[in-house]
Structure 1
Amino acid sequence: MTSKRTIRTWVVIDAVLVTVLVVLLVATLGGPSGSPGAPASTTATPTAAATGSAAPAKFRLPSGNIACTMAPSGVTCTIASITYEPPAVPGCAGDTGHVLVLNDDGFAFDCVDGPAPTVAGDDVPVLEYGSKATSGPYVCTSATDGVSCVDDAGTGFKLARAAWSELP
């Protein structure tokens, strides 16, 4: 027969284990990314480019499907997975639709030889949905429906897996 002391000891051990499990569960579900088991993400801080330095600022959207590099001279965004019909680029024998460039000449799809870009890795800072990154006259805004990048005159593009459009 088990003594009352042994039963109390097991109840205390069970209570401690349940408490530890609850704390771990709360820490996992309530972490910075808001999704179970997802790594904490970093907010993009394009301060070097925003202050006029020649160093480009890089960011990716939380999905990783879209990544951009910004500098005072322009913005280049890549998209790994698209469902829209890629636009034709005159004189291009390679692939189009995965790389967009915005600079003093306006915006255009770039002709790319080789494979499409891949999803951005964890080494690229995340620009959280609803946040903006700025470099020189260029501003990119992250949203759940893609990224929008414009110059100070409002010329630019909106890019998402399902569609792209010219802005304004």
Structure 2
Amino acid sequence: MGHIRETAIMAAIGRVEARLSRKPVLVIGKRDGRARQVTAQLRHLNLRFRVEENLYDGLKELSIDADGWSLAVLVADDIGGLPIARRSCDWLRAAAEGLPAIIAGSDAPALGRGAALWNDGPVTVRLPLSAQVFARAVSQACGQRPQPGYVAVA
């Protein structure tokens, strides 16, 4: 049973890599802050990314071309906490024409809990971040319901 689950997780990560390999991931946070945990997973998955350090109100000054990015990850710990990250995420999705977004934070709710995550709000994941949780978060952020075989709890 464990082998089947592991195979399903690897297949999910493969689908995520295929989607994200075409365009880089935008990480909004501090290079020397908690964003390192996100970039470590992106490196582990051999994905291209760029860390943008425009924080707080400066985020609204970012010029974001939705066609240039596959996904945005906002690191809540680095940009003032979950409330600011949620507002920034709403602005980001509107400004970047629906760019999929994930909020990562040490005080974020765990991804695997509750059905409330499946709505128009941003997908949240708890740091530290594993490859399996990242794969599931990307699937949810990009509008695909996660498959039961690779449900991972942060």
TM range (shorter): under 0.3
Q: What is the TM-score with the length of structure 2 in the denominator?
A: 0.24
Higher relative contact order (Cα pairs below 8 Å, separated by 6+ residues):
2
Give 1 or 2: higher helix fraction: 2
Q: What is the TM-score with the length of structure 1 in the denominator?
A: 0.23
